[in-house]
Amino acid sequence: MSNFPKMNRRDFIKTATMGFFAAGTLGFLPYEKVFAADSLSVKTRYGTFNGFQGKNGVSTWLGIPYAKPPVKKLRWRAPEALKPSDKTFDAKKFGYAAMQVDDAQELASKNPQSEDCLTLNIWTRGGKKNKPVMVFVHGGGFQSGGSSDPSYDGANIAAAYDVVVVSFNYRINVLGFVNFSSIDPSYEDSGYLGIKDQVAALKWVKENIAEFGGNPDNITIFGESAGAISNMMLAVLPAAKGLFQKTIPQSANSYMYNTPESSAQVAETYLKLSGEKNMSGLMKKTSAELVELYVKVKNARAAETVRDYLPTCDGKYLPANPFKALKKGGAKGIKFLTGTTADEWRYWLLYMDNFFEILHQDYPKLSPVMQKYTAKSANAAQVSEEIYKTWLNGRPHTEELFATFANQLDWRVGQELASEYQSSFGDVYYYLFSEQSADERLRSCHAIDLPYTFNTPCALAPNPSPQLIRQIQASWTAFAATGSPDNEFIPHWKKYTAANRWTMELNSKGCMCHNDLNTKALQDLRYIYET
């Protein structure tokens, strides 16, 4: 049995809706602390930054500001560019994590927090210039997480492969993803500030990464869970055009977004529970008071919050429907390497042994895909159950079959369909990660790919296969360098298209490229996305 905490049904629903895409760190083991061996100074337009030689001789800079602190009058405002500076800054420790609640699965939540959180980190092995750049976007359900989490340590990738790795923080939860424009129209950006922060970080990288040895014209973004959803949104976001050329969304679904109307309901709840009458009152709240208010709102909206902190797609800044935008060529020219784990939903067994019983009972509430499909139905539960029974095709219900159904609908089918759409406008390489967890119940669950991506052992993968780590890191970095994941450690990785759905299955038993690995499920369930 896992030693992770168990919850009752109501608490579980609150947790699940709070962090549907909270990948967590899966109990990552402590990593070796890094101390400065000597100073590395890099001069940029925004100051000189003194870094250090970290583990494995990797040149490291931590906590570099990429935008003005979003505090005081800049709270709930779009990030503002820094002014040029000739000052010298120490870049030897991580910046503050974004404001958030304490979460046992999100180690960044244990670190010092502040609204002044817009910083980034850089790792490189040194040596030659003009290296491929890989920018990581952290997960956490748009409500938690941060770049200081040891599971996202970029040093291991930079030490093994000749790339520059970047990570950064962005605003989350009430400070980054609540649409307060319904209360005050001047706060029109508040429903997607975290995405605007990501764009600001990418602009800083584009402008300054050459000083750290990176090629500003060869940038790949990658991310897992909420970070992967962010990747999908950035790919179709006009404001992000030209800031990167390739993307690696790990366990994403571009169907996961909020609407202005739905997000406005969240904002109204904040105002009501705060006791304030307008945004001026909310502006007077301290950071700690806003976090307390976030918890109150989460509790009050426990049965409704599956989409509460997803980015608000208003059709002005973000496309009104990112999934349709992708189908229409919104990410034209961007190369994709994407996929899912084989058993995403099993991650939530960490919180509740009878998870799939609860998921089945409350599926229209806990599945953003089913919630959106049944939104106009008078009886969402009945519609959901009919869809499931049709998929069963006469087979008797079992927990195993429902787990397969939910995993297909919420993860694999959505990302394969997105890959099909994108293949008309750019190269797509698709994978299925099927390595098993150390906890046999969880199989190949959500986020189990992280310790293999970063070579950071965790409680569910205390001894990750060195061979699989090498295969994934070699594939990811080859894609970042050339646009193709082909490398000497895996079979030839063929492109994914509607006609030939080539999928690289990744596990330590032997990676293999399959054709039409998931075609039947895609045919059976794609109408949920396309109706």
- Active-site positions read 225, 344, 446
Q: Residue 143 is encoded by which pair of tokens?
A: 């409500």
Q: Give the contacts of 104 (CB within 8 A, at least 6 positions apart).
A: 4, 5
Q: Find out whether 385 and 397 touch, Cβ atoms under 8 Å.
A: no
Q: Which two tokens stand for residue 241?
A: 């055009």
What b/e readout covers 110-149, taking b as 16+ CB neighbours within 10 angstroms?
Answer: eeebebbbbbbbbbbbeeeeebbbbbbbbbbbbbbbbbbb
Residues in Cβ contact with 92 at an 8 Å cutoff, skipping those fewer than 6 apart: 36, 50, 51, 52, 60, 62, 63
Contact 403, 346 (CB under 8 A): yes
DSSP string, 94-105: --PBPS----TT
Q: Which residues of 452-485 are buried (b: 16+ CB within 10 A; e: fewer)?
A: bbbbbbbbbbeebbeebbbbbbbbbbbbbbebbb
What residues contact residue 325 under an 8 Å CB cut-off, 6+ apart? 236, 319, 331
Contact by Cβ (8 Å): 306, 17 = yes
Give the bridge partners for 277, in sequence order: none
What contacts 213, CB < 8 A, 6 or more positions away?
124, 126, 127, 128, 129, 130, 131, 164
94 vs 38: CA distance, rounded Å: 17
Given the structure tokens 């330590």, which residue do they identify? 508
Q: Using DSSP bridges, classify how beta strands 131-137 and 88-90 pair: parallel, antiparallel or unpaired.
A: unpaired
Q: Kindly state the helix (H) or strand (E) to which residue 248 belongs, with its residue range.
A: strand 246-250
State how far the Cα of 415 lies from the Cα of 20, in Å rounded to an integer. Answer: 16
Strand, helix or coil for residue 66: coil
- Amino acid in the structure at residue 328: K
Instruction: Decide: helix, strand or coil at residue 50.
Output: strand
Please say whether the beta carbons of 129 and 152 come within 8 A: no
Task: Centre a 10 Å sphere on the Cβ of residue 499 and count the other Cβ atoms it contains.
Answer: 9
